[in-house]
Structure 1
Amino acid sequence: MAIRFQYNKTSLQQQEKALKMRVRTLPTIKSKESALRQQVKQTKTEVERLEVQLEAELLRYQGMARLWGEFDSSLITVSHVDLSMKKIAGVLLPVLGEIHYEVRPFSIFNAPSWWAEGIELLKTLATTGIEAEFTRLKMEYLEHARKKTTQKVNLFEKVQIPGYQDAIRKIKRFLEDEESLSKASQKIMRSNMEKRALKEGGAAL
């Protein structure tokens, strides 16, 4: 991104103002990037933990595989999930609350004795699965925000700040050269006027 500027004092003031703002803002953006990086790392660890937990629960589920054939899967459904919003490292993210299940009544006398245990196992499986998926989604949000913040840090550090510094140097050098030329031309003009005055004075005598 090329910095646009003109060789005058107004443009110099604009460049200095823009540079000052970016230099002042950079530490805040770097701090945000560091916080997001830490959050991504923590969330990734949480995703891995939940995936291991889900795997262990699925093994328990598979251990009862022969029994599931007689289970009525319509007995339990997820009715709704509580969600809220929270700012984490400056990023607004959804927060998973309670997961609500609807269990259809069934006769404990007519149904197999293990159905109650089966319902609890399915609740556990569903809860861990939802938590794992939700945490994975949260990690993606955080990683996206971290990448955008890193891009902004790089833009400020490697492009804009050096660009404004270079523009300021060029404008100052131009203005200094212009001032030197102006002083030199004034000096020449004054010298010429003095010579002319002396000539005219000599001619009058």
Structure 2
Amino acid sequence: MAIKFQYNKTSLGDLGKQLKMRQKALPTIKSKESALRSEVKKAKDSAADYRRRLDALKAEYDYMAALWGEFESDLLRVGDVRLATQKIAGVRTPVLEEVLFEEKPYDLFTSPVWYADGVELLKRLARLGIEFEVYNRKMELLDYARRKTTQKVNLYEKVQIPGYEDAIRKIKRFMEDEENLSKSAQKIVKTKQQQAGEGAML
């Protein structure tokens, strides 16, 4: 990205302000990136933990596979999932507050004995599955924000700050060269005037 500038004091002042602004912002952006990196790792670890727990619960579900044929599929369903938002390093992420189930009443005397355990197992499976999805989404949002922040850090560090410094250096050199040329021109004129003055006296 080429930085546009003109060889004058106004442009030099503007570039100086832009450079200072980026140099001031860089440590803040770097600490945000570091915080996001740490949060992404935490979210990944939590998602992996939920995945392990979910797999263990599914194994428990599969263990009862022969019994599920007797289970009435409309006995239990997820009625509502309540989410809240939490800001982590400036990123809004979802937090699971509660999973509400709609349970159809069943007769405890005529239904199989394991129904109560089956309903509880399904509730745990559903809750864990939803928690896993929420953590996955949280991890995606945080990772996306971290990648964007890393891009910004790289843009500032590797492109913009060196670009502004280079442009400022070029303007200063140009202005120094111009000043030196002006002084040289003045000396030449002065010398010629002195020579002309001496020539007129003779």
TM class by shorter chain equals over 0.9
SS in 1 for 2:102: strand
Aligned partners of 1:89 and 1:76: how far apart in 2? 38
Identity of aligned residues (%): 56
Distance 1:3 1:78 in 2: 56
Corresponding position of 1:198: 198
Shift of 1:25: 0.5
Report the secondary structure of 2:70's partner residue.
Answer: coil
Q: TM-score, normalised by structure 2?
A: 0.97
- Residue 145 of structure 1 aligns with which residue? 145
The answer to whether the aligner puts 1:68 opposite 2:65 as a matched pair is no
Q: Secondary structure at the match of 2:109?
A: coil
RMSD across aligned positions (CA): 1.0
Alignment partners' CA distance in 2, 1:73 and 1:191: 106
SS of the residue 1:100 aligns to: strand
Counterpart check, 1:32 vs 2:50: no
C-alpha deviation, 1:89, in angstroms: 1.3
Q: Deviations over 1:114-166 (max 9, x none)?
A: 11111110000001111111101111111111111011111111111111111
Q: Which amino acid aligns with 1:57?
A: L
1:9 equivalent in structure 2: 9
Instruction: Look up the match of 2:21.
Output: 21
Q: 2:171 matched to which residue of 1?
A: 171
Gapped regions of structure 1 (runs ≥ 5): none
2:108 aligned counterpart, secondary structure:
coil
What is the match of residue 55 of structure 1? 55
How many residues of Structure 1 are paired with residues of Structure 2 in the alignment? 202
Q: Which runs of 5 or more residues in structure 2 are unaligned? A: none
- Look up the SS of the partner of 1:96 in the other structure: strand
Contact 2:5 2:11 in 1 (8 A): yes
1:120 is aligned to 120
Is 1:183 matched up with 2:183?
A: yes
Task: Tell me by how many angstroms 1:197 deviates.
Answer: 2.8
Distance 1:192 1:99 in 2: 94
Question: TM-score when scaled to structure 1?
Answer: 0.95
